[in-house]
Chains A and B, each alone.
Chain A
Amino acid sequence: GESVGLHLPTLSVQEGDNSIINCAYSNSASDYFIWYKQESGKGPQFIIDIRSNMDKRQGQRVTVLLNKTVKHLSLQIAATQPGDSAVYFCAENAPSYGGSQGNLIFGKGTKLSVKP
């Protein structure tokens, strides 16, 4: 099965509310995580990343939280806007997969719908 997964496949929020998208990972050796946003008909777009030596990282309106104890990752979007509607993927670096540099393993994605 997938080593990276998502708790909620779909999420619907009201415009202006905060959104939280969750992700579980199973590889305790993973040391780098990324959130991607994918709009319809487009390729995934990098949002924010975090290394395993951090538990929180903030960007513009987005925050990623990492809980290594329970192997959980979350993406928080503040003041969600209609333009945030997309599928969000978490990805983990899998050091043992794909050679010495590892490769990213992606979760299946969560669809975020923002209601105006």
Chain B
Amino acid sequence: DAGITQSPRYKITETGRQVTLMCHQTWSHSYMFWYRQDLGHGLRLIYYSAAADITDKGEVPDGYVVSRSKTENFPLTLESATRSQTSVYFCASSESGARRGYGYTFGSGTRLTVV
């Protein structure tokens, strides 16, 4: 099915472990984004990518790593998970950047709990 999918839907991990959240889109959108959503903070940008092999930091990148070897995939890795990274993570994609008037399409989210 066409769309943007995130996996896993829910994840519990221990402090210090590495965990990877997956994001896959079928539209061949150039832009992909990772946001985290926390009460009181709304959606905050972690990393984004304008194309394959091009990534850049957002507002809250510390503790996260991304890669984009293929246009359709944009995994987010927490190298050493901390409790402050407990959050709901949303991946989004866009045909072009917001400046050109393209909105983002979001996945259903991954709820990550770090214990």
- Say whether A98 contacts B40, CB under 8 Å: no
CB contact list, B7-51 vs A, under 8 A: 31, 33, 35, 40-43, 45, 48, 50
Q: Report which B residues bind A (CB closer than 8 A).
A: 31, 33, 35, 40-43, 45, 48, 50, 56, 58, 90, 92, 96-101, 103-109
Name the B residues within 8 Å of A101 (CB-CB). Answer: 31, 50, 96-100
Q: Tell me how far the C-beta of A77 lies from the nearest C-beta in chain B, rounded to whole angstroms.
A: 18
- Whether the pair B43, A44 counts as a contact (CB closer than 8 A) is yes
Chain A residues with CB below 8 A from B100, complex form: 101
Contacts A101-B99, A102-B99 hold; do A109 and B104 have CB atoms under 8 A apart? no
A-B contact pairs, 18 of them (CB 8 A): A31-B99, A32-B101, A34-B103, A36-B106, A43-B106, A44-B106, A51-B101, A89-B42, A98-B45, A98-B56, A99-B56, A101-B100, A103-B98, A104-B103, A104-B104, A106-B35, A106-B43, A107-B42
Q: For chains A and B in complex, what number of residue pairs have CB atoms within 8 angstroms?
A: 72
Binding site for B on A (CB under 8 A): 2, 31-32, 34, 36, 41-46, 49, 51, 89, 93-95, 98-109
Please tell me if the beta carbons of B45 and A103 are within 8 angstroms of each other in the complex. yes
Q: Contact check: which of A45, A99, A105, A108 meets B106 at CB < 8 Å?
A: A45
Q: Is the CB of A108 within 8 A of B42?
A: yes
